[in-house]
Structures are given as C-alpha cells and as structure tokens.
Amino acid sequence: MDHYSLLDRYPHLRRLIVGYSGGVDSHVLLHGLATHRSHWPERRLEAVYIDHGLQAASSAWAEHCAKICRELDVPFRILRVNARPTTGESPEAAARLARYAAFSAELDSSAALLTAHHRDDQAETLLLQLLRGAGPHGLAAMPVAARLGEGWLLRPLLEVDRAELLAYARLHGLRWIEDASNASLDFDRNYLRRQIMPLLRERWPAATRTLARSAQWCAETARWLDAEADADLARIAAPGLDCLPVSAVRELGEPRQRNLLRRWLRRLKLPIPDARQLTQLLHDLLSAAPDRQPCAGWPGGEMRRYRDALYAMLPLTRHDPDQQWVWRPDLDGWPPLNLSGVGCLQMEATGGAGLSAAALAGVTLTVRFRRGGERFHPVRRQHSQELKKLLQEAGIPPWRRDRLPLLYREEVLLAVVGLGVAAEFAAAPGKAGWQPVLEPLAG
C-alpha cells in the first residue's frame, strides 16, 4: 500500500515524526512508513506517543507502542501533557490543543508530524463543522498539509478509506490498541461515527467519499476568500498589519468586512470570534463616534478603535507602571531585555540612526514607564515638550502609551521606544548608533 507520494513534495524534510497512539490507524501509518523507509535513506523515521494522563491504561498503552517500535526498529519516545480542560472547554478540545502544542514544540524547519487521519475522519469533521454552523474555512475540514510550529503537519492517508486501513492491518497481522472510550457516545465524534454514519452509508454508500469531496470544494473556496482578503489587506492595511483604517473598512460590504477581519485576525495569530461576535464588534466599532474609543472582546482576543483605526490584540493584562529594569551592555552589545507583560526590548546596531553608540559606551540604562509629567526633546524638534502631548500628536493609541519603554541615563530621558530618541544623544550621520526596538508579546 503506497500512499506516501505526498512526501515527495517536501524533499527538504529530514525528520518524519509519526503521531503514534497504538490504535489501528496510526499503527498502519507507522508500519507503512517503516516498510517504505528504504525509499528515503536520507530521512529519519521516529514515533511519538502522547500521554494525556487522562486514562489509567495510558502507561500500558505506551509500553505497547514502545514494543511495536522496537520490532520495527523505529526510535520512540513519550511526551506527557496536561490535557485537563478549563471551565467551559470540552475534554476533546483540551486534549487536542495539548497534543498539538506538544507536537509543535518537537518540530524544526526540517521536521514534519505525520498523522493517520483518513477519509472517514475527514467526512466526520465536515459534518461536525456543519452542525456547528461553520463557514467555508471550517467546512474545509483537515488539509493534507499545513504548517505546524516551525515544521509541517502532513496527513498522507487522508484520501484512504478506513476499511482499506483495516484490511492492511489484518493482512500484515498487526496488533493494535482498542481504546474503550472510542465506544462512548458521550463524545460527539463517536456518536456521529457509530450512530449517524452507518445510516448515511446505508442510504448513500459513497457518503464518505462525497462528503470528503465537499470538504475539498470548501477548501478551494476558503483559499479564494483568503486571496480576496489578502488583496484588501494589501490595499488598506498599515505596514505590518498593525491596524486597519475605519474609513476603508466601511467602504466594503458586510460580507467582505467579515472576510477581511477573519483573515486579518488569522494573520495576527489571534483566535477568530464566532459569527455573532464578529457582527456585533463590527457594528460597535465602525458605528462609534470619532471621539469614542470602543473596545470589543472575545475569548483570547480584543479589538479597539482609536481615531480612524482598528487595532486587534491579545487581551491587555494588568500593567504596573512602577516596574523598572537596569540594562547594561555586555561584550556583544546589549542583551535582550524581557519586560514583563509588555514584550522584549532589544538594541539594533545602526549607522546614523538611533542613539549614539559613543554616548552609550559604558553606560548603564534604566528602563521604566510613563508616570506623568515627563518632558522629552526628540530629534527634529526645537525644544522639549510634554511627553503626553508628543504621544498624542504621534497618534499612538492610549492603551499603548503607558506601555512604551522609556530609557533613562540616571534621570535623563534618552529615548521613548516607538516615538524617538533625544536630539542631544542621537547618532550623527554616518556614525554608529543603537536603535531601541520593542518586540511585543506574540498574538
């Protein structure tokens, strides 16, 4: 059974990591890859078992997986994760998130996780998403290939029926684990698999194949919608996708607005609000008066408006303006400085920009935040002015102003990160300089 031509599309991958649970599907995948590994002598095949810690039998299952891997001469290891659901989170979702977070941490740019999802899984995923009211992106179900962390997630068996996998397992005398929880109808997927899918196949024998084909069409539609949103973003978004102009968003029809915001949030790596939340936040933020500063939140994200711009971000955490740090250079320059709840502060070597390297030689800096009453004399200004006024003139949103790092030498304000450096300490044209840059918390 050769369903591994997918790997030929990714010749740079050197580590193939199978997500091995001990069940029949992942056992077939592992056995098939081990049998074919002579086709890829430059690649290393590995297997990883995720112990969710939710079932008493998990240790015995791990031992079974280790034994099978020894027989196949495949390196094997166990990753233990905390899959306990939070309040309001389904156990299935919690386990899935914990599992993929663990897998993601294992991958670098030369590695791929291979899972044994098959055509029946794809059909079930489509129906589950349909019952949740998902749009084209949800109905696209599972892609055959996707980025995961620094590497890739590949599903080489996605166009194979489960019946074919079972036939392969029996032909080769494979031994696999039967998880008793797979029979529980408390889980939506199990209920669909055991109660609904047999009825659908009885009436429509090709149901699995046709549902999977519908997922492909939805994936094609989702790609087209993404391309349309990318074109809109390229036309109206600020560099770096930092914000969207309200006036430009308003010019789009509502479906196009929603498509634009979903794509924007995905590219910012923020969770997507549901349809009701998205419609409500668009109404609240676009219809607000120009002097208002509305904020709309949803689990894992929030969107704010300031003047003519929309900003999306992680929910702001409590900020302590009294925090301060001492920052000293070392032999290699200025080491990155982690500012709790704000981001990572770095110094980038420049020529003719930023703070004068000569002025910073041997200097210890203090990093703190705005407390009120500060004055600052930035480059290209004749005199010092109130920092509050300078920030307003620069159009920096209010919630960012108190989180901008201020760099002091003793009590002299040298730089306001994100605004500029003091004229007196600026690098002269052609002279070495240091540019302070804040890498904000990831979205």
pLDDT digits (tens, 9 = 90+) for 169-188: 999 999 999 887 788 888 88
| Rounded alpha-carbon distances, angstroms, from residue 86 to 83, 93, 95, 298, 369 | 9, 10, 11, 16, 34
Percent of the chain beyond pLDDT 70? 98
Residue 33 lies in a domain: yes
Domain span holding position 67: 5-215
Q: Which two tokens stand for residue 403?
A: 């989180």
Tell me, what DSSP letter sits at residue 160?
S
Sign of CA dihedral 108, 114, 119, 123: negative
Tell me, what DSSP letter sits at residue 59?
H
Q: 339 and 302, same structural domain?
A: no
Predicted pLDDT at 277? 92
Assign 3-state DSSP to the chain and report helix, strand, coil percentages, each to 5. 40, 20, 35
CA dist 337 and 367 (Å) reads 9
| DSSP H or E segment with residue 35 | helix 24-36
Residue 228 lies in a domain: no
Predicted pLDDT at 227? 97
The dihedrals phi and psi of 338, each to the nearest 5 degrees, come to: -85, 120
Predicted pLDDT at 442? 55
CA dist 360 and 328 (Å) reads 10
CA dist 140 and 157 (Å) reads 17
Predicted pLDDT at 443? 43
Q: 295 and 338, same structural domain?
A: no
Low pLDDT (below 70) residues in the chain:
1-2, 88-89, 442-443
CA dist 292 and 276 (Å) reads 23
- Please state the domain count of the chain: 3
Q: 174 and 94, same structural domain?
A: yes
Point out the domain boundary residue: 181, 215, 249.
215
CATH number for 248? 1.20.59.20
Q: 295 and 342, same structural domain?
A: no
